[in-house]
Amino acid sequence: MSLYDRIFRPRRYRLSDGTVVEEKRSRAPLVILILVVLTAVSVRITGFNFSVLVKKGSKFFDILKAMFPPNTAYLGKIWQPLLDTIKMSFLGSFIGAVLAIPFAIAAASNIVTNRVVVFLVRLFLSLVRTLPTLVCALIATYIFGLGTMAGTCAIAVFTFAYVGKQLFEIIETVDMGPYEAMEALGATKLRAFVTAVFPQVLPTYLSVSLFCLEGNVRYASILGYVGAGGLGLIMNEKIGWREYDSLGMILIVLFVTVMIIEAVSHALRKRLT
């Protein structure tokens, strides 16, 4: 019996045949209380103010309005950074997804029996996941210099952590029967894994990687802001010069690109599963 049940005793019902049924008290009041307290604290600390929002809310649309009509003449200068962004996300996703494979295998408790190894690899994946991508990109610009290399690196790290976690969870839900059969006919663990487990996880793995790629194209545009190449670089520039109509053009191009990549990847993922 948990603490909550000890304070708020379960309600007891006696049925007509004499059996007693206990109904635990609802947790809802506790949850609501916590939410209210957290909201109150958050409102205080962030300075949330509804009247400001009502009074000056229209200013939000100032920049948005300035984006239209977009500056179509700027279109010609967008292609290069756009291609850079796409290349960056593609290469980064690929490297990250491939690097994730050995780590995911080592983190899967049904393949690796050594609990210490599983724990350490999972801790490592978790730690990498907590590292904000932006910080990663910044660090990468210090190491590799400004440019697409830093962006590729940051995306690879992000993809590595994301795909790594998803993949080891997929591996753990796999049917181990074929693996057992492979071991019974004299295959090494590695060969048994490649022939029996790999075909089972491959479609989901590719699907997760493609999904990650979709998100990365969007994300890559932010990374340019810290100098990691691509669209973010020119976005930052246009914001600095207050050329919002050019910014509008960039965003429209990005929107269309993301839609196309999502459509292609969605179609591919449908075929995979």
Partner 1 sequence: MIIFDHVSKVYPNGTVGLDDVSLRIEDGEFVAIIGRSGAGKSTLLRAVNRMHQITSGSLTVNGTDVTGLSGKPLRKFRRGIGMVFQSFNLVTRTSVIKNVLSACVPDMPFWRVLLGAFRKEDKIRALESLDKVGILDKAYMRADQLSGGQQQRVALARTLTQNPHIILADEPVAALDPVTAKQVMEDFVHINQELGISILLNIHHVELALEYADRIIGIRAGKIVYDGPSKQVDQAVLDTIYGEDIASEAAV
Partner 2 sequence: MNEKIQKAYASAPKTWLWQLLAAFCVACLLAWSGSAVRVSNPTGNGLEVAGNILSGIFHPSAKLLFTLGTDGVPYLLLETFCIAFLGTIVGAVISLPLSFLSASNLVPKAVALVGRVLIAAIRTIPAFVYGLMFIRVTGPGPFAGLLTMSLCSIGMVSKMFIESIEDLDKRILESLDAAGCTTFQKIRYGILPQLTADFTSTIIYRFDMNLRDATVLGLVGAGGIGAPLIFAMSSYRWNEVGAILLGLIVLVLIIEWISAKIRVKLARG
Cβ distance 197 to 177 under 8 Å? no
> Is residue 121 at the binding interface for partner 2, with CB under 8 A as the rule?
no
> Is residue 143 at the binding interface for partner 2, with CB under 8 A as the rule?
yes
> Is residue 187 at the binding interface for partner 2, with CB under 8 A as the rule?
no
CA gyration radius, the chain: 26
> Is residue 177 at the binding interface for partner 1, with CB under 8 A as the rule?
yes
126 binds, among partner 2, partner 1, none (CB under 5 to 8 A by kind): partner 2
Residue 139, number of CB atoms within 10 A of its CB: 16
Return the DSSP state at 197: I
Contact region with partner 2 (CB under 8 A), list: 2-10, 102-110, 190-198, 246-254: 246-254
> Is residue 172 at the binding interface for partner 1, with CB under 8 A as the rule?
no
Contact region with partner 2 (CB under 8 A), list: 1-9, 46-54, 111-119, 179-187: 46-54
Reported as half-sphere exposure (CB side, CA atoms, 13 A), residue 182 has a value of 17
**In this structure, what token pair is assigned to residue 163?**
């795909």
Q: CA 42 to CA 211: how far, in whole Å?
A: 33
Beta bridge partners of 13: 21
**In this structure, what token pair is assigned to residue 227?**
């100098």
**In this structure, what token pair is assigned to residue 94?**
């690929």
> Is residue 139 at the binding interface for partner 2, with CB under 8 A as the rule?
yes
62 binds, among partner 1, partner 2, none (CB under 5 to 8 A by kind): partner 2
**Residue number, 13 or 60, with CB nearest to partner 2:** 60
Q: Which of 9, 135, 175, 241 binds partner 1 (CB under 8 A)?
A: 175
177 binds, among partner 1, partner 2, none (CB under 5 to 8 A by kind): partner 1
Instruction: Please enumerate in sequence order all residues whose Cβ is within 8 A of that of 114, keeping only pairs 6 or more positions apart, or say none.
Output: none
* Coil vs helix vs strand at 237: helix
> Is residue 191 at the binding interface for partner 1, with CB under 8 A as the rule?
yes
> Is residue 251 at the binding interface for partner 2, with CB under 8 A as the rule?
yes
User: Measured from the CB of residue 44, what is the shortest distance to partner 1 in angstroms?
Assistant: 54
Beta bridge partners of 21: 13
Q: Name the residues that contact partner 1, by CB under 8 A.
A: 175, 177-178, 180-188, 191-192, 194-196, 199-200, 203
